[in-house]
Amino acid sequence: MTLALACLAALIAAVIQRITGLGFVLVLIGPIVLLYGPVEGVTIGVLLALVASLSALPFVWRQIEWRRAWRLIWPGLIAAPFGALLVRMLPDPALMILVAAMAYFALVAGWIPALSGMLTGPIGAVGAGAASGFMHVTSGLSGPPLAAYAVGDRWPQPRFVASVQVIFAAFSLISVVLRGLPTSPSGDMGLAALATVAGIALGTWLARFVPARAARIGMLSVAWAGATVVLVRGILALLG
């Protein structure tokens, strides 16, 4: 049952990512942490995020802005080890609360205009990239600083969505290196990866029929619910 639910969550998250360009981990993180715990859940999440980004790359290859992407990648690679250190230091209940807090930040960051105003130019790229890399290795939720930078730097949406797949792939790869592979059976992880690839393919087909706005509403609904349940469980575990 756990594996079936994880595969279903990965499939839905991948469909939403392919339609909207973002949101894979935001949709996945709540269910996967509840199913596997904060350490194993996030480790699985970043591995599947790597699969999702690599699967999406062939569809967006021609629109990728490699130089702009690299400006965000290298600060994130430097900051990522500090996120891995934090994960090793915190107990499971505190990690669940941290993951939930980052999920909430991911959900409200777009409503903070000042955030985009601060993240512009070369210095803004360093700040956004470092924050994104740190957040990715701790929770898999690296999107908000990147999205804020894209708004502040007036990055055209189609090219940003394409380029961010490269950034997600780089951060997911370094996260897998720093966190290690999931301890769950490799066969189970293979099925979850196949569900992710299937979701990207299904999302490519559905994108012709499903409005991005409808997919975004679904993404936000699942993400809010997942973050709230993870937060409650983390608080109860901490108090217990």
Nearest to 223 by CA among 141, 163, 135, 136: 141
> Each residue of 27-42: pLDDT tens digit?
888 888 889 988 899 8
235 C-beta neighbours (distance < 10 Å), count: 14
- Mean pLDDT over 160-187 rounds to 92
Report how far residue 149's alpha carbon sits from residue 211's, in angstroms, rounded to the nearest whole number. 25
CA atoms within 13 A on the CB side of 190: 3
DSSP, res 151: H
Which ranges constitute the DSSP H helices of 119-211? 121-139, 143-152, 157-179, 186-206
134: confidence class by pLDDT, cuts 50, 70, 90: very high
What is the token pair recorded at 92? 């499971």
Q: What is the pLDDT of residue 170?
A: 96
Predicted structure pTM score: 0.85
> Each residue of 183-208: pLDDT tens digit?
999 999 999 999 999 999 998 888 88
> Is the pLDDT assigned to residue 105 strictly greater than 80?
no
Q: Which of 4-8, 94-98, 104-108, 210-214 has the highest mean pLDDT?
A: 4-8
> Is the pLDDT assigned to residue 120 strictly greater than 70?
yes
Contacts of 158 (CB under 8 A, 6+ apart): 63
119: confidence class by pLDDT, cuts 50, 70, 90: low
